[in-house]
């Protein structure tokens, strides 16, 4: 039972354009969501997060939007840069859990 | 800067061997985690520990055990390695609960022949 779903395994965009990565979740207990970025041969690094009391959080070129009624969140990268090419993992937690539940990841390629 | 180190970047073992993967963090973090990453499956939690000598099973603990004798060190043990345990293994640590940032090590690419 996949509680966090990233339905697009890959995404390709042109440099300077917007990248939109999507994530859906099924567990109503989730109340905190995170995005991690992973380059090949490196461990994931934290990118941005959002609490369920908000519907938007912004950090520079990165914005995460949360739609609780749809159990959907998205990560927007504007403008996209070639250095953003990586695998992006959506993760969720809540209900007092000490664990994160990760999605399968979306591989973003930003073409120069 | 938080640093999480893993004992090996690449490891090749034979079926049936006992394998130890070591993880060390230098930030006095309470919680430590072991994940495996496989193509198309994302990150899956194997075990985690919230204190010395404490451990909790994650989503896929079968075939693995862990040891945490010191706060900074968390070991993953494959008692009898099998080919389906060929994977990228990632260790992480965090100071607090699940909403705190998890800091990951660089990973160990394990191949079981």
List CB contacts (< 8 A) between A97 and chain B: 98
How does pLDDT run across B38-52, given as a tens digit for each residue? 988 989 999 999 999
Which of B38, B42, B48 to mutate against chain A (most A CBs within 10 Å)?
B42
pLDDT digits (tens, 9 = 90+) for A13-46: 999 999 999 999 999 999 999 999 999 989 999 9
Least confident of B9-18, B76-85, B99-108: B99-108
A1 touches chain B (CB under 8 A): no
What one-character-per-residue DSSP string does B19-71 give? Answer: EEEEEEESS--SEEEEEEEETTTEEEEEEEESSTT--EE-S--TTEEEEEEET
Beta strands at A106-111 and A10-14: parallel, antiparallel or unpaired? parallel
pLDDT band at B2 (very low <50, low <70, confident <90, very high): low
Nearest to B107 by CA among B1, B20, B12, B23: B23
Rounded Cα gap, residues A86 and B2, in angstroms: 22
Q: Is B61 left (phi over 0), alpha (psi -120 to 50) or beta?
A: alpha
Radius of gyration of chain A from Cα atoms?
Answer: 13
- For B10-33, how does the pLDDT look when each residue is reduced to its tens digit (9 = 90+)? 999 999 999 999 999 999 999 999
């Amino acid at each position: 039972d996949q509680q966090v779903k990233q339905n697009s395994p890959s995404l390709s965009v042109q440099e300077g354009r917007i990248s939109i990565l999507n994530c859906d979740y099924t567990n109503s207990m989730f109340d905190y969501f995170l995005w991690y970025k992973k380059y090949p041969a490196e461990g994931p690094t934290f990118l941005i997060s959002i609490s369920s009391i908000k519907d938007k959080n912004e950090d520079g070129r990165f914005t995460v939007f949360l739609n609780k009624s749809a159990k959907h969140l998205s990560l927007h990268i504007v403008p996209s840069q070639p250095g953003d090419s990586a695998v992006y993992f959506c993760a969720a937690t809540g209900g007092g859990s000490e664990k994160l539940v990760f999605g399968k990841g979306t591989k973003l390629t930003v073409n120069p | 800067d938080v640093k999480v180190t893993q004992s090996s970047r690449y490891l090749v073992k034979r079926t049936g061997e006992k394998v130890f993967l070591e993880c060390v963090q230098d930030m006095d973090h309470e919680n430590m985690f072991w994940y495996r990453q496989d193509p198309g499956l994302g990150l899956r939690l194997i075990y985690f520990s919230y204190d010395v000598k404490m451990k909790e099973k994650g989503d896929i603990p079968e075939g693995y055990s862990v040891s945490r004798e010191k706060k900074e060190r968390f070991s993953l043990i494959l008692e009898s390695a099998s080919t389906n345990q060929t994977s990228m293994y990632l260790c992480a640590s965090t100071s607090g609960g699940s909403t705190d940032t998890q800091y990951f090590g660089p990973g160990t690419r394990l191949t079981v022949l």
